[in-house]
Structure 1
Amino acid sequence: MLRTIASAFLLIAISSSASADNISVTRDGVVYSVSQHETLSSISQKFTGHVKNWRAIGQTNQIENDRTIPIGRKVLIPARLLTPVSTFARIKSFFGDVVIRGHDGNAIEAKIDALLKEGDTLTTMANSFISLMLDDGTQFTLPPNSVVSLRLLRATQYVETPRTQLYLQKGRVESQVTPLNNRPDGKFEVISPLAVSGVRGTNFRVNVDDKRVLNEVLEGKVAVAQNTAVNKPSKQLVAAGYGTVVENGRVSKPVALLTAPVLQDGYQQQIRLPIQFPLSHASAAAFRVIVSTDAAGRNNIAETSIRSNNGKAVAKLENLEDGAYFVRTSALDAAGLEGIPTIQAFRVDARPFPPFLLQPGAKFQGQLQNERIPVTMKWSLAEGIKDYRLQVASDATFQGIIFDQTADTGADEMTVPLARGNYYWRVASILRSGNTSKQGPFGDAKPLAVIPGLDAPSASIGQKEIQFSWSAEPGQRFTFQVAATPDFKTLLNNIESSKAEVAIPRPEAGTYYARVRSTDDDGFVGAFSPAQKFSVPLQWRTEYDAPLESQGQPLGSSY
């Protein structure tokens, strides 16, 4: 009966194999065609590295006499007996400061396609990442502040069944493991001081968090057990969409991972720094955001976590160069387990940065010229930028643009004639390089109320006083000035008034100038009105300092 089973087994193995010289590889092992003078002992030494395995080979193939094997006889060497050989982990991507040391402690340079071997240790510093691929296509990624040792990198010779162990000393590791179907002796394990997570093909994360180990399964199943010397350690089989925590000497029952958070609209194009991602999930205690340059989320370049406030938070990243990216967002529950992620594409178009807007403020008061008020708008000059684009609109969304023009090269201001009313204005920088140019985003728009300036005050000259008045708006206060020269360098009167009128004692005969400005109840100080030129005629007076009159009229220089 055993001979029949073995013969049938061998027939299946031989029929399903592909010959290369006198060796054929099947899913069950190696089928070898015996040469002259070969024995099971020599075959065992050749394929398993030990003579002692000859009996096991003989039992598998129902060979009782080691010395009488016919030349050309097909012998199956089971995969479990084949010699393991060393494999390598290839660096696929890295970012930031990654430290790699060999088992001898010597530093290894981090570079793309570099091969790391068993015993090497990888450390990612703050804001650093590294992603590696094994020979069978399995990939694993380390985020910032993580330490992983490549404890075991082996594969069974000929059948190439991988045997991999990662030792996670600190931080996190996410693994995308190629399925080990039809390879019963294959394994991939992530070991930490407290737990062992073993898989046969899945996508899962392990996080060493203080005195805990958190496991989150995204695909397949993961067997999670305590890393302990006891005969029957606590163990759980965790399915996709579930997570478990190892702490206090036990593995918790699996709990459902949180669904992906909602990423509020508007993230798709980022034109301001810092980059912002508004997130929401009713059950989230925190959120994690990872930015990568690929849709699979392997080439990571930035990460941040933020606590939730009533299920909402805005994750911010200080700086990203302009370009196309992918953002991976996930929600963390109260235990710290990270939920199901979602990956979305977005762009950064924040450069060149817009200039700061300097003048005018929220209000501008000026004199009407042909029913328009010339408004000079000024901005700061950005380093390396000589060209700017100014827009003025009647609404905050700039649907009603009434002025759109590029300033002269090197200019930091433009004068725009505007009717009385409310407006918004903004400026963008334009970077020119040879025959190409790139306009950056507009800066935040500033509101602007354009109001006519005060007219020159009118003067009414009396015998002892001169009365001045002007038009005004309710709630305004005024500063009234009189000077002997049009430049107002030497003031004869400087009067603060809450009324749109003022009286001053009649000065000596001569030519004078008067002007007024308003201060609104919101503190806005307007410009001075045009100067009102007025003349005070000579007035003859009696010895009692009374005006000398003739026929009821004072006598002056014209008499």
Structure 2
Amino acid sequence: MLKTIASALLLIAVSSSAYTAENISVTRDGVIYSVSQHETLSSISQKFTGNIKHWRTIGQTNQIENDRAIPIGRKVLIPTRLLTPVSAFARIKTFFGDVVIRGRDGSSIEAKIDAMLKEGDTLTTMANSFISLMLDDGTQFTLPPNSVVSLRLLRATPYVETPRTQLYLQKGRIESQVTPFTKPESKYEVISPLAVSGVRGTNFRVNLDEQRVLNEVIEGKVAVAQNTAVNKPSKQLVAAGYGTVVENGRVNKPVALLTAPALLDGYQQQLRLPIQFTLSHPGATSFRVIISTDAAGKNNIAETSARSNNGQGVAKLENLEDGAYFVRTSALDAVGLEGVSTIQAFRVDARPFPPFLLQPGAKFQGAVQDGRIPVTMKWALTEGISNYRLQVASDAAFKTIVLDQVTETGADQLVALLANGNYYWRVASIIQAAGTSKQGPFGDAKPLAVLAGLAAPAANIGQKEIHFSWSAAPGQRFTFQVAATPEFTTLINNIETSTAEVAIPRPEAGIYYARVRSTDDDGFVGAFSPAQKFSVPMQWRTEYDVPLESQGQPLGTSF
């Protein structure tokens, strides 16, 4: 193939030099050549058309009767229609993903930028793959995923620059942006099993959809006809902003394409995966979204679609690396014709990913210290993350931030001193690379209700019972415990109650500890209160096990 390309380039170089050396000029009607010594119409015909048989036509065109007596310097017009087209090439401009290219003989051709493809080559794009090619005149065509196109005809006429291109769409879609032609002999056609779409310079799309072909014209005009052997096939001239469907043996009347959909605000900076675009158009049955790295939308790297529900849809892409991109959006009507598209810039700033928040939950109950409650905020460590940034705010929009702090390296928690109240908290990851730090987006904020812990239960020691009470909120249940040690390793009492008080039998004389915790009606279990230390004095009792009294008071060890 390299030899073929080199030969073609040599031919172009020779032809270009002949322009000056042989005094050739080009007009709208063809090539004008100044005759040199010993030249005849036959030699001129062979030179420019590749065959001497056209010498009579050249003579008639120039009113030359005597082939052997042409004056030196005589200007001879060789009509464009007689010039012999030569092979042209399609150069790979961009590609992405898995693209398979086969030569006419079935040989494999490597897909790489600036590779020159020739007539007879076939291109196949796999899932999430794209390829864009450019012809010598600047015409560019692009294949989206799951498409197959054969380069059926790639020709160009020397001197007069009249390209002739035929692309055979076997499967999927193709989008063409054709440079306007200046010569009537120029041709650009997209052929499919059902239809032929021919243009003279325009921007249009062709979609082979099972037993029908959809044509959409963005700029210029496209002649759409059946691909049939009948003498007078069904044909329509489709103007810009219109589309037509070829099905059931006929070309349908063109209909107006849908306008570009509205892209709802928030798409400009994508902080979460999957990437999401919310689209709106009252006439859409679905939406198409194409991602590219250039503003012209040629270097495509991803494509997805979304169904429309009452004119709205959300298109999602599972993954894009951080960076700058462009999104092209369009709406599809009930027939399946894709409408006019728009291209907008956006960024992906989703990395490093925020950590998973572990604790506290929606509520936290703790002891008040100097008017504040220490709350331990904890999250999962992520590999490669150097630091984390914790924010706590009193509102969901984080307009009123009460804590904004970066952890030390490797820390997975921070203690926040918060007053009793309602808050929101979130965490972002920070990485260090090449001497600079980069903070990723904050994760979803979690609500947090910070509650003051229960005060130690108050003890009222009676002759036979000890009564305890504490403050409570409506709907709470309680766990009350008594132990002989402040560690509460061995419980003397463990009582579940729905009231904010409890009575226990008076134990033997000694030092004891009591504590209580609450359970809200939503299931939240609070922390135990500080331990209440209380002393049960020795009590003298009669042989009938009643307290021995003096002047109405029980006698104890202090008597």
TM-score if structure 2 supplies the norm length?
A: 0.95
Give the CA deviation at 1:558.
2.5
2-structure distance, mates of 1:417, 1:19: 87
Give the CA deviation at 1:484.
1.5
1-structure distance, mates of 2:61, 2:437: 75
* Residue number in structure 2 paired with 1:76: 77
* Residue number in structure 2 paired with 1:430: 430
2-structure distance, mates of 1:377, 1:94: 47
2-structure distance, mates of 1:497, 1:295: 69
Query: How do 1:10-29 residues align onto structure 2 when only pairs under 5 Å count?
Result: 19-29=20-30
Point out 4+ residue stretches in structure 1 off by more than 4 angstroms: 17-20
Q: Aligned with 1:512: secondary structure?
A: strand
Q: Aligned with 1:57: secondary structure?
A: helix
* Residue number in structure 2 paired with 1:86: 87
Give the CA deviation at 1:18.
7.5
Letter in 2 for 1:167: Y
Letter in 2 for 1:73: R
Letter in 2 for 1:411: A
* Residue number in structure 1 paired with 2:132: 131
2-structure distance, mates of 1:417, 1:276: 37
2-structure distance, mates of 1:316, 1:484: 61
Q: Any gaps of 5 or more consecutive residues in structure 2?
A: 1-17
CA deviation profile, 1:225-255 (whole Å, cap 9, x unmatched): 0000000000000000000000110000000
Letter in 2 for 1:245: V
1-structure distance, mates of 2:21, 2:552: 137
* Residue number in structure 1 paired with 2:230: 230
2-structure distance, mates of 1:230, 1:53: 32
* Residue number in structure 2 paired with 1:312: 312
Letter in 1 for 2:366: G
Letter in 1 for 2:319: N
1-structure distance, mates of 2:28, 2:21: 15
1-structure distance, mates of 2:76, 2:385: 77
Report the CA distance shift for 1:218/1:20 in structure 2 as closer, same or farther (over 3 A): farther
Letter in 2 for 1:54: W
Give the CA deviation at 1:557.
2.5
Asked if the contact 2:36–2:72 (Cα under 8 Å) also holds between the matched residues in 1, the reply is yes
1-structure distance, mates of 2:345, 2:23: 52
Give the CA deviation at 1:40.
1.1
Asked if the contact 1:132–1:139 (Cα under 8 Å) also holds between the matched residues in 2, the reply is yes
Give the CA deviation at 1:26.
2.5
* Residue number in structure 2 paired with 1:109: 110
Give the CA deviation at 1:28.
2.2
* Residue number in structure 2 paired with 1:14: none
Letter in 1 for 2:34: S
Matched, 1:337 2:337: yes
Query: How do 1:159-558 residues align onto structure 2 when only pairs under 5 Å count?
Result: 159-181=160-182, 183-558=183-558
Give the CA deviation at 1:554.
1.7
1-structure distance, mates of 2:464, 2:417: 43
Letter in 1 for 2:388: Y
1-structure distance, mates of 2:433, 2:339: 46
2-structure distance, mates of 1:434, 1:495: 60
CA deviation profile, 1:197-227 (whole Å, cap 9, x unmatched): 0000000000000111000000000000000
Q: Aligned with 1:233: secondary structure?
A: coil
Letter in 2 for 1:442: F
* Residue number in structure 2 paired with 1:118: 119
Asked if the contact 1:19–1:25 (Cα under 8 Å) also holds between the matched residues in 2, the reply is no
Asked if the contact 2:216–2:337 (Cα under 8 Å) also holds between the matched residues in 1, the reply is yes
Q: Aligned with 1:198: secondary structure?
A: strand
Q: Identity of paired residues, percent?
A: 83
Q: Aligned with 2:355: secondary structure?
A: coil
Report the CA distance shift for 1:557/1:434 in structure 2 as closer, same or farther (over 3 A): farther
CA deviation profile, 1:492-550 (whole Å, cap 9, x unmatched): 11111111100111111221111100111121111000011111122222222212222
* Residue number in structure 2 paired with 1:11: none
2-structure distance, mates of 1:161, 1:27: 11
Give the CA deviation at 1:354.
0.7
Letter in 2 for 1:150: L
* Residue number in structure 2 paired with 1:95: 96
2-structure distance, mates of 1:19, 1:184: 25
Asked if the contact 1:18–1:25 (Cα under 8 Å) also holds between the matched residues in 2, the reply is no
What's the Cα RMSD here? 1.2
Give the CA deviation at 1:144.
0.2
CA deviation profile, 1:278-325 (whole Å, cap 9, x unmatched): 011001011000010111100001100111111111111110111111
1-structure distance, mates of 2:58, 2:338: 48
Asked if the contact 2:22–2:33 (Cα under 8 Å) also holds between the matched residues in 1, the reply is no
TM-score if structure 1 supplies the norm length?
A: 0.95
2-structure distance, mates of 1:277, 1:363: 34
Letter in 2 for 1:55: R
Matched, 1:58 2:62: no
Give the CA deviation at 1:552.
2.0
Q: Any gaps of 5 or more consecutive residues in structure 1?
A: 1-16
CA deviation profile, 1:443-501 (whole Å, cap 9, x unmatched): 11111111100000011111111100011111211111111111112111111111110
* Residue number in structure 2 paired with 1:40: 41
Give the CA deviation at 1:22.
2.7
* Residue number in structure 1 paired with 2:151: 150
Give the CA deviation at 1:19.
4.8
Moved more, 43-52 or 452-461: 43-52
Letter in 1 for 2:75: K
2-structure distance, mates of 1:453, 1:372: 11
Letter in 2 for 1:273: L
Equivalent residues, number: 542
2-structure distance, mates of 1:384, 1:57: 77
Q: Aligned with 1:223: secondary structure?
A: strand
2-structure distance, mates of 1:188, 1:28: 20
Asked if the contact 1:390–1:428 (Cα under 8 Å) also holds between the matched residues in 2, the reply is yes
